[in-house]
Structure 1
Amino acid sequence: MSDYQYYEFRTIDRRLDEKQLRELRRFSRRARITPTSFQIHYDWSDFRGDPKAMVEKYFDAFVYLASGGSRRLEFRFPKKLVDLKALKRYDTGGAVRLWTTRLHAILSFRHKFEQDEDAEGEGWLDSLVELRAALMAGDRRAAYLGWLMGVSLDDVSPESEEPPVPSGLDELTPALEGFVKFFRIDADLVAAAGSRSGAREEAAPTARELAAFIKAIPAAEKDALLLRAIKGDVPHLRAELLLSFEDSKPAPGKTARKKPEPRTAAELLAAADRRAGTRSARA
């Protein structure tokens, strides 16, 4: 019986050079390779490349899907542009894994189902790739959903407490809904987790706030930033500046509202079962 396997890799905000394209061609003669992507599927054979090494060296996003049931999504980030300590709290050791290289951090999501004869990989990365930018901007909803997937896979011990619950978990973006669909995360488990998630506030900085931030940047640092812009070294310049802007803001004052106690994996699973039971009773 044939075993369908689909691999797609993509760069973000940059292009592969000729040397890198030649190196990638060694992995497959029939792959569709462009300066920003590598795409191939197999029905009978296996891929000669090492996806982990390819993400570490060349690509910023990767999706894998197989009729054998495996699904995988990975994002690579500039290490200095993500909060590694915060992301590590969602690492389950299986469904969610975080590791670093000299310059990058890689966040991997993985699941293994039963046979999936209707597997079709094309189009999935298009619907999921914007999660990378969201994670870089501090939106950790995808990381939390990955942790929930780990709960359902028994990666997480029943007594383990949940990591920080991101706001907006009860109002998912299309990309996050795609993430739930791609990994088939239980909808009742997502709803149970989202019951304690507050509304997401995404107010963009005002022109006045940005002007004050720019004015405060030392002259030598501004010169270095302008030089980078002129030389074209700008793929992550905006992200770097916005991260610096957020770091420059004063810490919010203490609020009287007390955060709820974190729930255990067992409590979340029980809440999901109650939701499923209530829905069945109403049907």
Structure 2
Amino acid sequence: MVERYYDAHLYLVNWGTHRIMLRLPKAVLGLKQAERYCVGDQVSAWTSGGHLVLDFTSEAEEEYWEDDVERSLSAIIGIRAELAAGDLRPLYLAWLSAYGTWERDEDAFDYDEEDILEPPVPPGLGSLSAPQRALADFLRLDHDLLAAAAEASLPAQPVQHDKKALAAWIGTLPAKRKDALLLRVMEEDGAKVRWELLREFGGETTGQEVETERTVAELLDAATARRHVREQQEAARRAEEQAHQEQERRQARELRLNRLAKDLDAAWDVLETSIGTKTPREYDLAVELLRDLHALALRDKHVGAFTQRLTHLRERHQGKPSLIKRLNDAGLTAE
């Protein structure tokens, strides 16, 4: 159906298959160029008539259905125009995501594929477009693997299509070719004509592809190293945040205890009022206040007085099982 009728097709299965197919004119993206990024069944390309068909697939066992993933085509479809304009980042992302499967499934490839060299690295991997980010997510491309690969990618420089320069370039085109192009536009082939001319004029991005000596194994190892460093940094940040929050909690509690210490009798009166409402919420507030009074007794060394008042409180309200249970669960047993 894609070969004959459709320019894009997205396929999903709830056990974890993500697949997207794209059709482009052969004139804007050749088979040999695309084949450099092919990986088995995960990334394939072939020609049909005057078109090139690309097929990207990601397999993973899903524990739950991802919300809105069926709407991914509208977010991804922009890569078709990018590819047609000469931006090969989508092909590289598909290649990288295919070998990234190895991190989830150790049987995904034969071990001799560890020594396969990566294809040319296109510029701009460190600053993906929105459709490219959507494609990377759809194909489950690991962020650390992408970051490791992007280290070899040169910055992409957007081309500013100066109208004067564009007009001058168009003026150099032979009249016969202009007539042929205009005829194609009239025959509803306008998008293809635009892509061809954009590529010939200079494309939408400039930048040099990089030929590296990195192997698949080296890329995966680099991703693992980056992940380890990132996780360590995140753990350190979480520990610092938790320590800061704990310090704030201790300071807040110290302020509460200081306020309670100014009038203990008033605090115990508040307790009695809360308990007298006989509502679960007020019982919970009473238990929290008792915890603070206990902490204050420990701090100021008047545990005996606290224990005595707690014992009397429990005796007066022993007919309230819900309250007594809360006190017992909180360790406020007066023993």
* Shorter-chain TM-score above 0.5: yes
Work out whether 1:136 is the aligned partner of 2:84. Answer: yes
Question: What does the per-residue CA deviation read over 1:83-120, in whole Å, with 9 as the maximum and x for residues that have no partner?
Answer: 33222100012211011112110111101111453145
Aligned counterpart for 2:180 among listed residues 200, 224, 227:
224
Where do 5+ consecutive residues of structure 2 fail to align?
Answer: 102-107, 236-335
In structure 1, the partner of 2:35 is 88
Matched length:
222
Paired residue type of 1:270: D
Superposition deviation, residue 197 in structure 1: 1.2
In structure 1, the partner of 2:96 is 148
Call closer, same or farther: CA 1:278–1:86 in 2, change over 3 Å: same
In structure 2, the partner of 1:276 is 227
| 1:158-197 matches, cutoff 5 A | 158-197=114-153
Where do 5+ consecutive residues of structure 1 fail to align?
Answer: 1-53
Aligned counterpart for 1:239 among listed residues 195, 199, 202:
195
Q: What's the % identity of the aligned pairs?
A: 38
Call closer, same or farther: CA 1:173–1:279 in 2, change over 3 Å: same
Q: Distance in 2 between matches of 1:169 and 1:233?
A: 31
Call closer, same or farther: CA 1:180–1:241 in 2, change over 3 Å: closer
Work out whether 1:262 is the aligned partner of 2:213. Answer: yes
TM-score (norm 2): 0.61
Superposition deviation, residue 263 in structure 1: 0.6
Q: Distance in 2 between matches of 1:271 and 1:106?
A: 32
The 3-state SS of whatever aligns with 2:57 is strand
Q: Distance in 2 between matches of 1:163 and 1:260?
A: 7
In structure 1, the partner of 2:326 is none
The alignment yields a C-alpha RMSD, in angstroms, of 2.4
In structure 1, the partner of 2:60 is 113
Residue pair 2:121, 2:212 contacting (<8 A) in 1 also: no
Superposition deviation, residue 231 in structure 1: 4.6
State which structure, 1 or 2, has the greater radius of gyration over its C-alpha atoms. 2
Question: What does the per-residue CA deviation read over 1:162-209, in whole Å, with 9 as the maximum and x for residues that have no partner?
Answer: 101111101122222212221221111111001121111121332232
Superposition deviation, residue 126 in structure 1: 0.8
Structure with bigger helix share is 2
In structure 2, the partner of 1:10 is none
The 3-state SS of whatever aligns with 1:65 is strand
Residue pair 1:92, 1:155 contacting (<8 A) in 2 also: no
Q: Distance in 2 between matches of 1:61 and 1:181?
A: 18
Superposition deviation, residue 82 in structure 1: 1.0
Q: Distance in 2 between matches of 1:203 and 1:172?
A: 16
Runs of at least 4 residues of structure 1 off by over 6 A?
Answer: none
Residue pair 1:68, 1:115 contacting (<8 A) in 2 also: yes
The 3-state SS of whatever aligns with 1:81 is coil
Work out whether 1:73 is the aligned partner of 2:29. Answer: no
Call closer, same or farther: CA 1:207–1:277 in 2, change over 3 Å: same
TM-score (norm 1): 0.72
Q: Distance in 2 between matches of 1:86 and 1:106?
A: 13
